[in-house]
Amino acid sequence: MNTLLLDLGNTRWKWTALDDEASAVNGHVYSNNPVSGIVKQLKKQSMPTRLYIASVRNEELNRELLQSLKAEGCEVRFLSWRDCSRLNTMYHDPSCLGVDRYLNMIGALRLYQLPFIIVSAGTAVTVDAMDQEGVHLGGAIFPGRRLLQTVLIENTDRVEMPYSTESDTIFAQSTETGVLAGTSSGYIAAVNGIVNSMRKELGETTQLILTGGDAVVLENNLPGGFQSTNNTLIFTGMREVVARILD
């Protein structure tokens, strides 16, 4: 049976094989028609017989994708917080904790020693802390680097989106490089501040796990030590959860 794992983020979607942890991860930016784009891409490599999906997208898109995949003969299951209920969280309403955050923590529990902090750096940045006893204490959510730039551009006049993605100096000498310098440096400083605040509670040697599209940016700019980057963490968590479902 050809079974794939599919991760639907806010900006990108990616997939990999269920049975082979060494299999390649295929990443794609959404097309103008996300559902047809996903189905078309999956058909290129032979439509799987079964898909397990972790999605942070809206329910309307999820339903449309479900119907389209079923029409192609694919069995689909969207993973939810209920599938992750073994994870001990202090969230007041566990159903409000995103499935992607659950899966990242489940993956980290398999691969890393407690306590740890997971920074998932995508469209939004989520920072989740798990203590020495394996309890999710909660976390913080912050705009991603590109989102910071977009909000600034959309709410000001005469400030345009920069063509580049990084600034090599904080001493900006143009509006464009000023946007880059401010949002990039501010983004890194904010994430570092959140992590440091959590480490004051958990211990200075608490493992920091970076994942997501901007993980490398943070890896290159945050102070070193007790730090790992893992961009397949969510798939490790998905494999753990699917194994329990199939058991």
Mind telling me the catalytic residues? 100
Where is 149: in which H helix or E strand? helix 145-154
**Rounded (10°) CA dihedral 238, 240, 241, 247:** 140
Distance (Å, whole) CA 6 – CA 41:
12
E strand intervals along 124-206:
124-130, 135-143
Distance of CA 175 to the CA centre of its chain: 30
Distance (Å, whole) CA 27 – CA 148:
23
Q: 26 φ, ψ to 5°? A: -105, 115
- Pair 85, 38: CB distance under 8 Å: no
What strand order describes the sheet that includes 88-89? 88-89, 135-143, 124-130, 116-121, 207-211, 227-229
Contacts of 226 (CB under 8 A, 6+ apart): 205, 206, 207, 208
230: number of Cβ within 10 Å: 19
